[in-house]
Chains A and B, each alone.
Chain A
């Protein structure tokens, strides 16, 4: 029965899920399986971020066979291929319809408050009173832009991955791509192809070959158990959650997207962007070390794979052991770049993303604005979060990682509602 608040009806429900992306739909699927009454509130359309906040050419960096969520999986004829974003949107749309998820689209959550062990979720047209809330609103709502952005000379165009669609929107002239994650290198590559000279400013990054010993690297991570490493078993979960996305791209040729591939095409490599002195950009002198760190970590991962093969498989069923050329770095990479003299017109901030919790009025945020949680179980009883990097396992960062996370959190949530 509904009470009225500000003239609006209050609806009662057990669980409100915020966000109808793959993570929100996965938890909804699990809730439906156990007949837990819930609603999925979606600010826009299903898979909204994928529809509106991704660049035109993007394909998933996970192979199609990894597109699997509870109750739904890729069933096309190219399991080793990589989906462009429109195909992923279709996949998530299909998931919503086969699971008959109770979604209210175009319903923006404006606030979530707690009182008396209940949550009150306000949307732009209703009030929901619920016992539990699952936040599945995404990890990439806001592009993180470093503080040095304040000092960028006014004549330079700055673009975040949310503003970026294709190279044609950029001024003609040089481009500095800040950040060497999957996003940074994918954008750098296509901007370079458009004829604009590209400089990549890189701090710490995660290097991986696309294919190793004849198999996709993500196949290996699953197979050797790295994908399943749990958040409460790794040395430093804060660091693991902050890691930039691996330097991977999904192409039919299974191209490796590393810094050597970038410099071989003629892109320039400089250290992390540290500041500006008027028209002069300043870069860190730590380039060699961040490249060494990435090379060493990649080699440790490859060694783990090789050891797994030696212990568990017939070595001859895989291609031979391979080690890749260390990242090539100039003897003295430039520490400064005069933007005028070098004809730099654009800076792209491929410096990561952060979630937006501006609507969350429950004191669960740490001083950096992230939800304090234990593997997705927030500090406030009955509140959960899903769909974040390394939420419960390394694979939580990827679509297929959501299945185990959704099942675990569903079990916890069902138990909570039961008491």
Chain B
């Protein structure tokens, strides 16, 4: 059914994804991935996280290069603002994940994308992180993502793209559902 010729090209190799889905459905072990990051404190609230290797398909992999992500706090937090805050990097992760999904779903549905832009906003009451009020949570009160998509498709098709992208998004799931976190520490 996916044999039809199409001129739609969003730069996503959908056939490879469909093949991977078919292959991994009956190979649950190969589908087990492990994502990794390391982080080193620089100074103050400034630190640098590095991402290089991950595990999947039964073996170790390396990215083409090591990718670094610095984070810091802004001047109004009495920090030096050397980089984005970690919570902004979370928004960037969500946006990157959803947007990749929009492109993949569009390709699969033969929709040519011309431009995809998202703006994200997440209100937060910092009484939580400051410890002013134990009833205020540390994290976001919610996240709003606004997409503006120019494509050869109806408004309804575009809404369906974005809905399907959320359904398949890892970061959307990570943020919208609870995840157990284990943090270990040792003197080194």
A binding-site residues for B, Cβ under 8 Å: 204, 233, 235, 238, 271-272, 274-275, 277, 282, 284-286, 289-290, 292-293, 296, 299-300, 332, 366-367
Contact = CB atoms under 8 A, between A and B. Distances in A.
B178 A293 contact: no
B111 to A, nearest CB: 14
Given A293-B167, A296-B160, A274 B1 contact: no
Nearest to B21: A236
Contacts, number: 44
Contact of A286 (B25, B28, B142, B176): B176
Given A332-B141, A332-B142, A286 B172 contact: yes
Contacts of A282: 178
Nearest to A238: B25
Contacts of B159: 292, 296
Nearest to A332: B142
B20 interface: no
A285 B164 contact: no
The 10 closest A-B pairs by CB, nearest first: A285-B176, A289-B166, A286-B176, A292-B163, A293-B163, A296-B160, A274-B177, A284-B177, A282-B178, A275-B178
Interface in B162-178: 163-164, 166-167, 172-173, 175-178
B40 interface: no
B3 interface: no
Nearest to B159: A296
B156 interface: yes
Contacts of A299: 156
Contacts of B177: 272, 274, 284-286
A235 B178 CA distance: 31
Given A235-B1, A274-B177, A286 B166 contact: yes
Contacts of B166: 286, 289
B179 to A, nearest CB: 9
Nearest to B165: A289
Given A235-B1, A285-B177, A293-B167, 6 more contacts: A238-B25, A277-B178, A286-B173, A292-B163, A300-B160, A367-B28
A233 B175 CA distance: 35
Contacts of B163: 289, 292-293, 296
15 contacts: A238-B25, A272-B177, A284-B176, A285-B142, A285-B176, A289-B166, A289-B167, A289-B172, A290-B167, A296-B163, A299-B156, A300-B160, A332-B141, A367-B26, A367-B28
Interface of B: 1, 25-26, 28, 141-142, 156, 159-160, 163-164, 166-167, 172-173, 175-178
B26 A366 contact: yes
Nearest to B2: A235
Nearest to A287: B176
B25 A285 contact: no
A271 B166 CA distance: 14
A405 B178 CA distance: 42
Nearest to B27: A367
A282 B176 CA distance: 10
Contacts of B1: 233, 235
Contacts of B178: 274-275, 277, 282
Contacts of B167: 204, 289-290, 293
A285 B175 contact: yes
Contacts of A285: 142, 175-177
Contacts of B141: 332
A2 B49 CA distance: 75
B45 to A, nearest CB: 28
Nearest to A275: B178
B1, B163, B175 — which one has the most chain A CB atoms within 10 A of its CB?
A: B163
Contact of A296 (B142, B156, B175): B156
Contacts of A274: 177-178
A272, A290, A293, A300 — which one has the most chain B CB atoms within 10 A of its CB?
A: A293
Nearest to A336: B178
A367 B28 CA distance: 9
A23 to B, nearest CB: 26
A367 B24 CA distance: 12
Nearest to A291: B163
Contacts of B173: 286
A299 B160 CA distance: 11
A272 B173 CA distance: 12
A197 B175 CA distance: 29
A19 to B, nearest CB: 28
A209 to B, nearest CB: 18
